[in-house]
Structure 1
Amino acid sequence: MAERISVCFFFVFVLSLIASLPKQISADESAEGKEFVLTLDHSNFSDTVSKHNFIVVEFYAPWCGHCKKLAPEYEKAASILSSHDPPIVLAKVDANEEKNKEIASEFDVKGFPTIKILRNGGKNIQEYKGPREADGIVDYLKKQNGPASTEIKSADDASAFIGENKVFIVGVFPKFSGEEFENFTALAEKLRSDYDFGHTLNAKHLPRGESSVSGPLVRLIKPFDELFVDFQDFHLEALEKFIEETSVPLVTIFNNDPSNHPYVIKYFNNPHAKAMLFINFTSEDFDSYKSKYHEAAEQYRQDGLSFLVGDVEASQGAFQYFGLKEDQVPLIVIQHNDGKKFLKPKLEAGHIPTWLKAYKAGEVQPYKKSEPIPEVNNEPVKVVVADTLQDIVFNSGKNVLLEFYAPWCGHCKKLAPILEEVAVSYQNDADVVIAKLDATANDIPSDTFDVQGYPTLYFRSASGKITHKNKQLLSKKEKKMSFEKASSCRRG
């Protein structure tokens, strides 16, 4: 589950086309009653995309609330962009349709809405990482459709290009040619959806750094830590690594300030183990904690740890995810990609380096989130929590059908009476257990169970074999037959 924490912060799906229906993007026609977003499916997707150098595609599901909220903004943006020179085409694909699921899988769609930018007839694919309201969509896509790097010819150009709250990457060159410049522009094209790139012949135009250099060099300008960093290795892999490593703060701030949100997303997407200090930012001793935590980040950032400090007010989702309570603050949590968590509640500022040292030495035991063990568990569908998973599922010596569910999940609610009926039919069979586990309130061993959606069903036979069952809702008869087949294998 750990590797999917960032998924909670993301949306999915956007597609675009035109060519075959040119009248739909005509700026001269009245927009009344007209749909500017092209509808694609398995029959016309490839042909339409292949005809465009730049097209935006939304992958959506009709039942998705985020998709419904995006729809009017997306349509308005499509209307405006139809008059752009050249027109920018927006399209959509119903990824919930069975016939379109192969396309969704090809584009790695894991949530809704998902938006992709397709270039060069679909040969180059990028995630859309812009706003979700019409004007923001328009501005973002106009920029994405232009040059990947902007030439900076004056200090005024630099002031207009380089803002206060974003990362900017500027190449300084003696001339706009040669291998270094070509590598820089190639990288700008590759990473244009993540960063703003510029290039200049004169470093004196730039607001930070040595102004007498003639390059070639890359200067990364940022609103945190050392404010700018220069780099002179123009090998593509080295350049990309430099940008990825220096474009994030040593300690990411997680609060209600929107300017910090891009760095929070990058933090949760990076492959390192994640250290998170949660504290009230308005507390009198906040500066003391922040200082000690920053010192620890300096010491341990080369050891595969990324650091974040989160304000309690903005971190309620994280508290719910980890099963934490506000009375544990200040507290620090470290999460590994395999799902293991390490926790220290009511942490004193001076103990931050001591606790981290103990953690690195392997002296801190993992923390496991679990609901309380039920005092009574005599319903047909047994309740499993993290603290009883071993006893009920692994050590019972029985055939166990286990559902991983979320209380808010509509599919889970539809499955509940079916699961209940199956459980009742096996109530007198001592060798069979039908059970459920709230995957939002209990930690799950990710090395055993791959829970990527709800409901997810697993069957563990009495002999120890674990089978991932189809999480799509089956009919009662199909569900019962499926379980009977699995059970009879053990009995045979």
Structure 2
Amino acid sequence: MGYREAVFMGKEQLLTVMLLMVHIQCSNSGAVQFTSENFDKTIASTELVFVNFYADWCRFSNMLAPVWDSAADLAASRFDGGRVVMGKVDCDQQDGIASRFHISKYPTLKLLRNGHPAKSEYRGQRSAEALVRFLEDELRDPVRVINATSDLREEKKGQVIGYFESRASTNYQSFQRMATALKDECHMIAGFGEAFRHLLPSGRDTVVVRKAGSSEEVSLPNLDIMNTQKLTDWAQRACVPLCRRQVREITFGNAEELTEERLPFMILFHHPDDKETPQQFVRVVEQQLFSEKNGINFLTADGLQFAHPLHHLGKTKEDLPLIAIDSFRHMYVFPDIKEMESPGRLKQFIDDLHSGKLHREFHYGPQPVPAAAAGTQPTTRPPTSPPESVFKKLGPSESRYSLLKDEL
């Protein structure tokens, strides 16, 4: 082989290598494609994971796709330290992940913080800059640092206050993770060093809660601050009133705001003079359904004010109290409110909604119930006959909110 041929071959090989590098860079750009193999590992090791749940056949998913990949590239250049990952899930190929997060429309954009989904999906502007700006806001430190206890004041929301020997402590790192999870529900405050040493029992870091409008501090004995999940659960229970934390009252004034959260409603309709049943409902939700708080809105409703939904259910004030689920497609009545406190009954009702069982039975009738003993004839429950959703009509109208489609 002559000199010119060798030089030519060298250039050809160099061009091949350069093209390969470009291909590798392009394949590594854009949002991370999540599968069952990499999804859990990523959300467990990353502070913020922003996920686009999409379907290839969906026109709006296809319109969003290049914007989402551009935003992912922008996020990768703007954030360091592996704090943020933007990813995407093909819901047809990864139906297990989609079912886990109750995805029923496309595209759905959800933020996961330290593995836990935010209660509300992202519904802001669909541009690369807007998406990255949203992540920047979510990364801001939610903790207000004070220099003395005189800096504390009564607030309309509850306060979670940590007193620490050092900002570099692992206890404070756990406190920060808790503060980020609860930043929308409580004020997060921290004090460090000598000015607060007299507040540290036996010289140990401590966390206390002040309820809304109060200066009284409540602490949990033997609180393990380093256990972020236990700290978060305790702080939420102590800081946020139960009625606001788990069960809210729906009114015509807040119905639109609640529908924007895009979570199905489980509603206790009751007579306004009935005070006992709502208290029972709150207890059941707190004791049996706490794990469902990110997938459903638990509400109470004045059955006289909301007579129209009752009418759609074929019910009147004479049937109060009763429980129903509004999925924003159909409404389903819980069979017997007397079983509300029976362990597992309301949980099964919710599971049947998410699995599609309630909807399937509406269209195809109930599955036969196996005979309890030999010789016993199988029985079937009466088929459900849910009417169309009423509460979705109380949500934002397209004439007032155009971002759902126009900003895609």
TM range (shorter): 0.3 to 0.5
* TM-score, reference length from structure 1: 0.40
Q: Which has the higher contact order (CA 8 A, sep 6+)?
A: 2
* TM-score, reference length from structure 2: 0.46
